Amino acid sequence: MGTGTVVSGRVRKDLSRTNPNGNIPPESRSNSRKKKIQRRSKRTLISPVQKLVDTCKKVFANAKSGTVPSQDNIQMLRAVLDEIKPEDVGVSPKMPYFRYKVTGRSPLVTYLHIYACHSFSIGIFCLPSSGVIPLHNHPEMTVFSKLLFGTMHIKSYDWVADSPQPSSDTRLAKVKVDSDFTAPCDTSILYPADGGNMHCFTAKTACAVLDVLGPPYFDPAGRHCTYYFDLPFSSFSVDGVAVAEEEKEGYEWLKEREEEPEDLTVTAMMYSGPTIKE
């Protein structure tokens, strides 16, 4: 047995390695300091998703309808999103959300809720191959989208300001993006008035998209999600609207849908990735 010291009736085994003078050897003090440093390092290690939530709290601290974060804050959040990998948020192409069962309808889209408050929301859209999120808007919002894996076609639009309208529910829009994107790629950002505020996602392969909305949808504040039909420019002839022949393909009329698309089915599921602390 090692020697011990009786303290209030208990034997302290931690003093069993004292030297003849009763002092703790230098190597023991050094090992103790190293262990304390290691424990502190473990306590201060922040997961990528926790870092994302904490960054969003700073970026959207004063989020209101139509308010765009400063450029410094936008770049700070974009840098955090650019570094996030699928495993950081607990998603993989092998998960059942990404399996397409042929049913004669559009594939089911799954939304994994990560975090939400009045200032912002974070979630992941999981789309099987051929899955579609129809054309919709983001009124008065700034949105960051990070393609985690897969190949997706994105078509987006911005409104043409002050353009005459053929009807109250139809407006002219300019095509902003109409391309395929394959992960890994840069985080995309759309703004209240530009950057492709209306967009449609079509999965070419199984895809996962990490979305940050600031502020989030909220009907009482006027941030209602509206879906649209996209119609060729030639569909209407409106006085005061003139576009050069070679540019007509870059413009389309967006007509509001009265109801959500019938072929859109989104199932909400709880996020099961790394724990997030307040």
CB-side neighbour CA atoms (13 Å) of 183 = 24
What pLDDT digit, counting tens, does each position of 196-240 carry? Answer: 999 999 999 999 999 999 999 999 999 999 999 999 999 999 999
d(CA 60, CA 164): 35
Q: Which residues pair with 188 in a beta bridge?
A: 145
Which tokens belong to 124? 């992941």
| Model confidence pLDDT, tens digit, residues 72-91 | 999 999 999 999 999 999 99
- How far is it, in rounded angstroms, from Cα 224 to Cα 221? 8
User: Picking from 50-59, 66-75, 104-113, which range would have the lowest pLDDT averaged per residue?
Assistant: 104-113
CA 162 to CA 193: how far, in whole Å?
A: 13
Across residues 109-123, what is the average pLDDT? 96
Phi first, then psi, for residue 220 (nearest 5°) are: -60, -25
Q: How many CA atoms lie within 13 A of 245 on its CB side?
A: 0
Lowest mean pLDDT among 24-38, 59-73, 149-163, 187-201: 24-38
